Structures are given as structure tokens and as C-alpha cells.
Chain A
Amino acid sequence: ADNQPRLSAFFALK
């Protein structure tokens, strides 16, 4: 759904 962000919106890729 549009209102479900992914985790990459919060944590950076290592």
C-alpha cells in the first residue's frame, strides 16, 4: 500500500 514505507526510508544500506 502507498502508506507503507520500506525500511530503507529509515535505515541506510551498509
Chain B
Amino acid sequence: MLELRLVQGGLLKKVLDSLKDLVNDANFDCSATGFSLQAMDSSHVALVALLLRSEGFEHYRCDRNLSLGMNLSNMAKMLKCAGNDDIVTIKADDAADSVTFMFESPNQDKIADFDMKLMDIDSEHLGIPEAEFQAIVRMPSAEFARICKDLSTIGDTVVISVTKEGVKFSTRGDIGTANIVCRHNTSVDKPEEATIIEMEETVSLTFALRYMNSFTKATPLANQVTISLSSDLPVVVEYKVAEMGHIRFYLAPKIEE
């Protein structure tokens, strides 16, 4: 028996909106630790790892580890029917072939339940070791989204370089080139407007902008994004999910031609 009650149901809507373009079908894994997911895009170039810790739920009952195979676009359709302020409860029996989403309005005057068919999904889990990164950039998530969107109008790839000057996002295309440099800046009115660059070594990596733009669908979840870079390793683009977890996107760097 699984029963997860999330007071901030709107968070789950935002989580699904940030996943559904990258991944079609995925297994949600439920354990005592929390509600999690690891899935790759169809070309196995990008991966998303979601964790919503059990403590973040108002009620979290998971009698035994359970894996729920869901079509993310169908799940997003169902969650779209919840109000942004609704309390969302996810329910499933141990041997269930469906999952129930229950939506309660904040003043309890409307209660809806939606039942969605589950599916069997063969998923490959990758072991992702904890890594020390050469550079970690924390910046406003909206700024990062704007940069990725702007650069993708000019080129297909972005070179992200971190030096002591700051972080540079560069692209080139048929019409020309573009470079955007963001400097370390903590003298801001609000902490979420800061750009914090921690650099052990200079690093420069090339990534497909198509995936970066897909990751920025998570922008409504968090004011800040963390971009962790090391030579010859996938970049990690992380958004916090309130105080209860995170969504991390991994993208393999392109090999320099």
C-alpha cells in the first residue's frame, strides 16, 4: 500500500512539466527514503534524476518498495486537472495496475480522484558516483533559461567555460557567433539574484542546446540553478524542489571536432 499526501500539490505539476518533454515513460520508485525517478531520454544522451524525500510529504506511507511505471505525458494531463493550491495524494495498492491521484481544494469543498493505468517499463538504471567538480556555478534559473533560449536562436551547441573571469556561454551558427559572460556577483538585493562561481580549475565543455533548453522547463521550480562541470564528465544541472528534494539533469558533453 502506497499513500503519499503532498500539501503543495502544485510542486508535482511543475515537476511533471519539467520531465515530460525529455522522457516519455518512466518508473517512479517509492521507498522509505522517498519518491524518486531516474530516466534517460530516448537517445540515452541525457538523464533526469528526481528525488522527493519522504519528510517533505504531510503523510507518507510506503509499506514496501514499489515501482510505478507511468507515461509522463498522461500523468501530466491528469495533474493538470489539479488546482495549483490543491493538496495531491498519490495512492496505489501493492499489486495494482493503476494509480490514483486525489486532488483536494485547500478549503476541502472539492475532491476529485483520477485513476491512471500503470505500465510495465524496462528501464536501465545508471550508477552515478558522487563526483568532485572542477567548477560549480550557481545563478538565477531564469537567467540561465534566457541564455539557453537566446543562444539556441543562433547555434545548436553551447560551450560553457569557467575561468576566473566568470562563466562564459558561447555559440556559433550560420549567421554569426555569440558570447555571454556572467561574473561572480553576490552584491545583490536578494540571495536568489546572486551568481556564485566556485572554481577549482578552469573547465570548458560543449553541450547540445536542445537538451539544455529542455532542462530549463524546470525553471518554475526554483529561483536558482546549479551547474556542475568537470572535464570529460556529464554536466549536472540541478533545481531544488522546495525543501524536499531536487531534480538533476545530466548531459553528456560533445566531443570536440
Contacts and interface: CB of A to CB of B under 8 A. Distances in A.
A5 B252 contact: yes
Contact of A3 (B40, B128, B254): B254
Contacts of A11: 126-129, 234
A3 B254 CA distance: 6
Interface of A (DSSP majority class): loop
Nearest to B44: A6
B127 A10 contact: no
Contacts of A8: 44, 126
A12 to B, nearest CB: 5
A13 to B, nearest CB: 6
A11 to B, nearest CB: 4
A7 B252 contact: yes
Contacts of B254: 1, 3-5
Given A4-B252, A6-B44, A7-B47, A13 B126 contact: yes
A13 B208 contact: no
B233 A4 contact: no
Contact of A13 (B125, B233, B252, B255): B125
B46 interface: yes
B43 interface: yes
Task: Determine the interface band of chain A, counting residues with CB < 8 A from chain B.
Answer: 10 to 19
A14 to B, nearest CB: 4
B250 A7 contact: yes
A6 B127 contact: no
Contact of B126 (A1, A5, A7): A7
Contacts of B45: 4-7
A14 B208 CA distance: 26
Contact of B127 (A3, A5, A9, A12): A12
A4 B126 contact: no
Contacts of B250: 7
A7 B25 CA distance: 18
B252 A14 contact: no
A7 B127 contact: no
B213 to A, nearest CB: 16
5 contacts: A1-B254, A4-B208, A7-B126, A7-B250, A13-B126
